[in-house]
Amino acid sequence: MEPFLYMVPYLLVECASSNEQRAQYSLEPFTYERLTNIPQARAGDCGVYALKYIECHALGMPFSKKRLC
CA atoms within 13 A on the CB side of 29: 9
pLDDT at position 13 is: 87
pLDDT at 67 > cutoff 70: no
Taking a C-beta distance cutoff of 8 angstroms, is the pair 39, 66 a contact?
A: no
Query: Is 44 buried (19+), middle (13-18) or exposed (0-12) by CB count in 10 A?
Result: exposed
Q: Tally the residues of the chain.
A: 69
What distance in Å separates the CA atoms of residue 15 and residue 61, rounded to the nearest whole number?
29
pLDDT tens by residue, 6-34: 998 888 888 888 888 888 888 899 888 88
Q: What is the pTM of this model?
A: 0.49
pLDDT tens by residue, 27-59: 899 888 887 776 676 777 778 778 888 888 888
pLDDT at 4 > cutoff 80: yes
Which one-letter DSSP state was computed for residue 37?
-
